[in-house]
Structures are given as C-alpha cells and as structure tokens.
Amino acid sequence: MKKVFTILCLTMIATFAIQFTSKAQGYQNAIGGRFGAANGVTFKTSLGDNKMLDLIANFRSNNSYNYFRVTGLYEVYKPISGAQGLNWYYGGGGSIGAVKYKPNNSSDLYLSLDGVLGLDYKFADAPINISLDWKPAIQLAPDTNFDASGVGLSLRFTF
C-alpha cells in the first residue's frame, strides 16, 4: 500500500510540474468531494488540450464490508455547443484498494478496471465545478464482478 501511495504522489507532482494548458473544461485544477454509492475526495488536473487526470480516494461501508480505494482516470472532454462551460466526457483507468469483510474479520486486495462517462460544468463567475458521472467497474480482485453502481456527483473548487 505504501508503494501505491508513493506512485500516486509522484504522479501528482509530475503532473503539476508539466503545467499544460486547459482548453475545453475551462480550469486547470480542481479539488473537492465526490458523493454517491461511494463517498470521497476527488482531484482533477489538466493534461493539456481537452484531457484531464482525475484521482479519487473513496470509501464504502455496509453491514457486510468496508472498503477504501484509490482510482485514477484518464478523461477526454468534449464541449457541448450552445452551453458555455458544459462538457461531456469519457475515459478509463483503474482502482486499487483494500476491502475488509465484517462477518469473518478478514481483508483482501481490491483491484478493478474503471470506465467513466459524465457531464462537467464550470461556473463562469465562480471558482466552482460540478460534475455528474457514471463510473462502471470490472472488479478483478478479490472477486471478478461488474459493478454498475458508480454514479457520483462531484463538487469542486477550481484553481
């Protein structure tokens, strides 16, 4: 887990150091909360032109299990003509994390391939971004499964 955290930190530092310009989405960086089936923190940064990197750290808990995971998504933005500040986007990436099963007090590695499809809006006169997306995942570990419950609403501060 320490190696994953180190790799994610180095990726974020490298992304900041490159300093590409953002065109389609109207902001360079954004940080905030993601709310839905799993709640957490989201950070987006521009990779140039109409592409962004979205890093999400989230958690989910119910009577059977708890999990924590970190997701990295490569996203491509397309403006919606006639709607200033509104874009639709798609992309893909992966998740890694840990799951703890409550009934038998055991834990395991969580690993998945993730897709994303959503709408993104940047308010023109305020440093606020809001997005609504669907993030389906093909779970690879500890079980093989398709999870279509990844609908989320994100509210972010842009800078």
Q: Does residue 112 contact residue 138 with C-beta atoms inside 8 Å?
A: yes
- Full-model pTM: 0.82
From CA 65, how far away is CA 105, in angstroms rounded? 9
Please give the C-alpha separations between residue 82 and each of 87, 90, 120, 123, in angstroms, as whole numbers.
11, 20, 14, 15
* pLDDT reading at 19 higher than 80: no
Structure confidence at residue 26 as a pLDDT band (50, 70, 90): confident
* % of residues, the chain, pLDDT over 90: 78
Query: For residue 16, what pLDDT is reported?
Result: 45
Q: What would the mean pLDDT of 37-66 be, rounded to a whole number? A: 94
pLDDT score recorded for residue 37: 85
Please tell me the distance from the alpha carbon of residue 130 to that of residue 123, in angstroms, as a whole number: 8
Distance separating alpha carbons of residues 35 and 33, to the nearest angstrom: 6
Looking at residue 1, its pLDDT comes to 56
* Cβ 96 vs Cβ 141: under 8 Å: no
Least Cα distance to 159 among 22, 11, 5, 7 occurs for 22
**104-143: buried (b, 16+ CB within 10 Å) or exposed (e) per residue?**
eeeeeebbbebbbebebbbeeeeeebebebebbbebbeee
What average pLDDT does the segment 28-55 reach?
96
Q: Is the pLDDT of residue 129 over 90?
A: yes
Using pLDDT thresholds of 50, 70 and 90, give the confidence band for residue 44.
very high
**Could you tell me which CATH number the domain at 2-158 has?**
2.40.160.20
Every domain of the chain and the residues it spans: 2-158
Nearest-angstrom CA–CA distance, 58 and 35: 9
Average pLDDT over residues 137-141: 96
